């Protein structure tokens, strides 16, 4: 994968319907020559009502003869359906991608080589902030990028006698214990094995926040002091009872609902959910801040991030039309609109979102980003989701008291080495 750190610094950050599989990769053509293509993603439910559809309507107006059928569902449902579609050869024409899925889909041959499509279309790649590549070929274009800050329910903190969001691990642990009581819990962590992205977003983020890494020279390095320290810390929080119940089956959207309903005081989560939280509870008094670092750490902090990526199905019968949609969403105008409505870093270097200066939370997110660097070591790794699941399985055993931190990390290190 091309390095995203340099490219992303140009930007300012702000802020269920199931998918339907069809036997012909989701596209159709009528007698008139008009084409209908499917666009499967989890984005629409995370945006304000009608926003994504309005942008797609603009594309259709500019591209007569192409109709786009939006297939929208929660992240976990989208992931399940795309993996099923990858195995059966029935993926939708255009697909929303998480960088952690790309290696698997590329190996299965289910997503198209975008390098050749860009070349054939004469697309100027220099306008792209980043590309996700496997063996030198591009398979995903990050359309927008989101940081993962710490969300805090400021009323719950104040009621617990905490006057400011925590800045280090000791402060976070103290705040979590102070909040926990009655119907409220200090924090939450989604560890569902069905969608194990919590290992990336809510576990390893504690390693990256203190400048640590889970890799060495591109290979697994899970037994190092930085990873060990973070896992010991999280295990301690769990044993102290400050986690919202049901962590082992909790998904990210479940955590967001718990926070939105005022039952969780602090969570590490994507800025993509800012709109969801505000719409679910307009009266919620919350703020964001940088992830707490290890006590005494004063270096540059890794800022977890994730992308809404774009890919095209290899089985699509209308790759040219599918590429036109991708090109539109990655264009200066289309990407400016998409990043504005998503309150995120644009994927086009020339795009300018309209949220800059309009919202203090977005401004705070940009400040957090400026003071650190984007960190997500799972993007582009082989079988990234399986790596997370292997870690998650052993992590749950640790939290249940069935193993020690050292034993757990050694076990996962061995299983990861086999995958690499």
**Span 59-99, pLDDT tens digits:** 999 999 999 999 999 998 999 999 999 999 999 999 999 99
Mean pLDDT of 317-340: 96
Q: pLDDT value at position 129?
A: 86
| Confidence band of 3 (pLDDT split at 50, 70, 90) | very low
Q: pLDDT value at position 357?
A: 64
Mean pLDDT of 307-316: 96
Window from 253-262, 325-334, 345-354, 401-410 with minimum mean pLDDT: 345-354
For the cut 70, the answer to whether the pLDDT of residue 420 exceeds it is yes
Q: pLDDT value at position 352?
A: 83
Mean pLDDT of 230-239: 98
Report field, pTM of the whole predicted structure over 0.85: no
Mean pLDDT of 120-133: 92
In angstroms, the Cα distances linking 25 to 85, 110, 134 are 8, 10, 23
Provide, rounded to the nearest whole percent, the portion of the chain with pLDDT above 90: 76
Contact 66, 321 (CB under 8 A): yes
Hey, CA dihedral for 337, 340, 342, 345, is it positive or negative? positive
For the cut 50, the answer to whether the pLDDT of residue 179 exceeds it is yes
- CA–CA separation, 180 vs 95, rounded Å? 40
* Nearest C-alpha neighbor of 319 from the set 111, 78, 31: 111
For the cut 70, the answer to whether the pLDDT of residue 11 exceeds it is no
Plot region of 343 (φ>0 → left; ψ -120 to 50 → alpha; else → beta)? left
Residue 63 or 369, more confident: 63
Q: Which two tokens stand for residue 321?
A: 């039309």
Q: List the alpha helices (DSSP H) in 142-273.
A: 154-159, 169-179, 198, 204-208, 225-239, 252-260
Mean pLDDT of 34-53: 95
- Is 5-145+305-374 assigned to CATH 3.40.190.10? yes
Residue boundaries of the structural domains of the chain: 5-145+305-374, 150-289+382-419
- CA–CA separation, 375 vs 3, rounded Å? 11
Residues comprising the chain, all counted: 420
For the cut 80, the answer to whether the pLDDT of residue 57 exceeds it is yes
- CA–CA separation, 232 vs 41, rounded Å? 36
pLDDT digits (tens, 9 = 90+) for 13-28: 333 333 333 334 455 5
The set of residues, in sequence order, having a beta carbon less than 8 Å from that of 100 and lying 6+ positions away, is 197, 200, 378, 379, 381, 384, 385, 388
Three-class DSSP category at 95: strand
Per-chain mean pLDDT for the chain? 90
| Confidence band of 9 (pLDDT split at 50, 70, 90) | very low
Q: Which two tokens stand for residue 248?
A: 């082992």
* Nearest C-alpha neighbor of 85 from the set 66, 105, 71, 103: 105
Window from 246-250, 339-343, 410-414 with minimum mean pLDDT: 339-343
Provide, rounded to the nearest whole percent, the portion of the chain with pLDDT above 70: 91
| Confidence band of 12 (pLDDT split at 50, 70, 90) | very low
Contact 321, 403 (CB under 8 A): no
Class of domain 150-289+382-419: alpha beta
Q: Can you say how many angstroms the Cα of residue 150 is from the centroid of all Cα atoms in its chain?
A: 14
Instruction: Give 246: exposed, middle or buried? Use CB within 10 Å, 0-12, 13-18, 19+.
Output: middle
Contact 394, 411 (CB under 8 A): yes
For the cut 90, the answer to whether the pLDDT of residue 175 exceeds it is yes
In angstroms, the Cα distances linking 253 to 43, 267, 272 are 13, 12, 11
Q: pLDDT value at position 25?
A: 47
Mean pLDDT of 180-202: 96
Residue with token string 């991708």: 326
Q: Which two tokens stand for residue 291?
A: 């992830």
């Amino acid at each position: 994968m091309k390095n995203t750190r340099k490219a992303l610094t140009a930007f300012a950050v702000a802020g269920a319907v199931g998918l339907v599989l069809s036997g012909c990769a989701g596209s159709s053509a009528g007698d008139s020559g008009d084409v209908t293509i499917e666009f499967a993603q989890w984005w629409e439910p995370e945006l304000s009502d009608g926003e994504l559809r309005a942008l797609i309507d603009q594309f259709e107006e500019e591209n007569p003869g192409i109709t786009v059928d939006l297939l929208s569902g929660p992240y976990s449902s989208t992931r399940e359906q795309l993996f099923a579609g990858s195995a059966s050869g029935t993926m939708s024409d255009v697909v929303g991608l998480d960088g952690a899925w790309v290696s698997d889909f590329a190996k299965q041959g289910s997503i198209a080589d975008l390098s050749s499509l860009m070349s054939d279309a004469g697309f100027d790649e220099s306008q792209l902030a980043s590309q996700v590549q496997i063996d030198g070929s591009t398979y995903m274009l990050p359309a927008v990028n989101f940081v993962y800050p710490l969300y805090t329910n400021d009323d719950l903190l104040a009621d617990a006698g905490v006057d400011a969001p925590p800045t280090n691990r000791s402060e976070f642990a103290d705040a979590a214990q102070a909040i926990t009581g009655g119907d409220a819990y200090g924090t939450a962590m989604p560890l569902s094995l069905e969608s194990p992205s919590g290992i990336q977003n809510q576990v390893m983020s504690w390693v990256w926040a203190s400048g640590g890494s889970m890799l060495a020279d591109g290979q697994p390095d899970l037994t190092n002091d930085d990873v060990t320290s973070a896992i010991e810390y999280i295990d301690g929080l769990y044993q102290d009872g400050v986690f919202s119940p049901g962590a082992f089956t909790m998904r990210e959207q479940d955590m967001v609902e718990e926070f939105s309903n005022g039952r969780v005081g602090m969570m590490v989560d994507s800025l993509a959910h800012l709109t969801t939280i505000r719409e679910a509870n307009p009266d919620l008094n919350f703020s964001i801040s940088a992830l707490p670092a290890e006590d005494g750490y004063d270096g540059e902090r890794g800022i977890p991030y994730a992308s809404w990526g774009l890919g095209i199905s290899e089985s699509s019968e209308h790759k040219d039309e599918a590429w036109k949609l991708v090109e539109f969403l990655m264009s200066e105008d289309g990407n400016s609109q998409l990043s504005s409505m998503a309150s995120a870093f644009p994927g086009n270097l020339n795009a300018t979102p309209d949220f800059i200066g309009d919202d203090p939370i977005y401004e705070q997110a940009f400040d957090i980003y400026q003071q650190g660097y984007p960190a997500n070591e799972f993007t582009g790794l082989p079988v990234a989701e399986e790596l997370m699941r292997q870690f998650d399985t052993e992590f749950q055993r640790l939290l249940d008291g069935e193993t020690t931190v050292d034993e757990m990390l050694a076990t996962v290190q061995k299983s990861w080495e086999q995958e690499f």
